[in-house]
Amino acid sequence: MLDEKAKKTMLRKIPHGLYICGVKDGEEMNGFTASWLMQSSFKPPLVVNCVNRESGSHEMIKKSGVFAISFLDAGQKEMAAKFFKPKSRVGNKFDDVEFYEGEATGCPIISDSLGYIECKLVGTVAEGDHTVYVGEVIASGIHREGKQLLLEDTGWQYGG
């Protein structure tokens, strides 16, 4: 029998970084705070990005086949909080955030992030309430040095 309390406690112990996933479909752009991201292969360089099926960005990745990941600095908790909110509720999240469009994907990349990767979609696993998008890293760059923002450092919980 599954002990719900133990399951939730243990799953929340999995460490996660916080990132802004930039997406673009045609002229429409959006971004969301991602935490379920990890590298899954060296050759080719692959990452898995788990995206809530009910989000607008989920459909944008599915349609466009691309996404970009901006790596947040430990001092950018407010940025992560801003991008947690759905676009339908807050409007254009990039209004007061400096960004540029990635050369490989056209997806928004946060200028003040530690750096970024741009990915093309090469696979999906649609199980549960999130889709696992497998992206091949096709471009990357470093903006500056710094300590990465971790979910555990914010006091927030996303898991369990």
Is 8 part of a structural domain of the chain?
Answer: no
Is 45 part of a structural domain of the chain?
Answer: no
pLDDT score for 28 = 93
pLDDT score for 1 = 87
Burial class (CB in 10 A: 0-12, 13-18, 19+), 103: exposed
Predicted structure pTM score: 0.94
Per-residue pLDDT of the chain (160 residues; tens, 9 = 90+): 889 999 988 888 888 999 999 999 999 999 999 999 999 999 999 999 999 999 999 999 999 999 999 999 999 999 999 999 877 777 789 999 999 999 999 999 999 999 999 999 999 999 999 999 999 999 999 999 999 999 999 988 777 6
Is 129 part of a structural domain of the chain?
Answer: no
Is 66 part of a structural domain of the chain?
Answer: yes
For position 70, which CATH number holds? 2.30.110.10
Is 10 part of a structural domain of the chain?
Answer: no
Is 96 part of a structural domain of the chain?
Answer: yes
Helix-then-strand count for the chain, H and E = 5, 9
- Give the domain extent around 112: 16-36+60-120+138-154
Is 2 part of a structural domain of the chain?
Answer: no
pLDDT score for 138 = 98
pLDDT score for 135 = 98
What's the total number of domains in the chain?
Answer: 1
Is 3 part of a structural domain of the chain?
Answer: no
pLDDT score for 117 = 98
pLDDT score for 26 = 93
| Structural tokens at position 126 | 């649609």
Tell me whether strands 19-25 and 28-34 are parallel, antiparallel or unpaired.
Answer: antiparallel
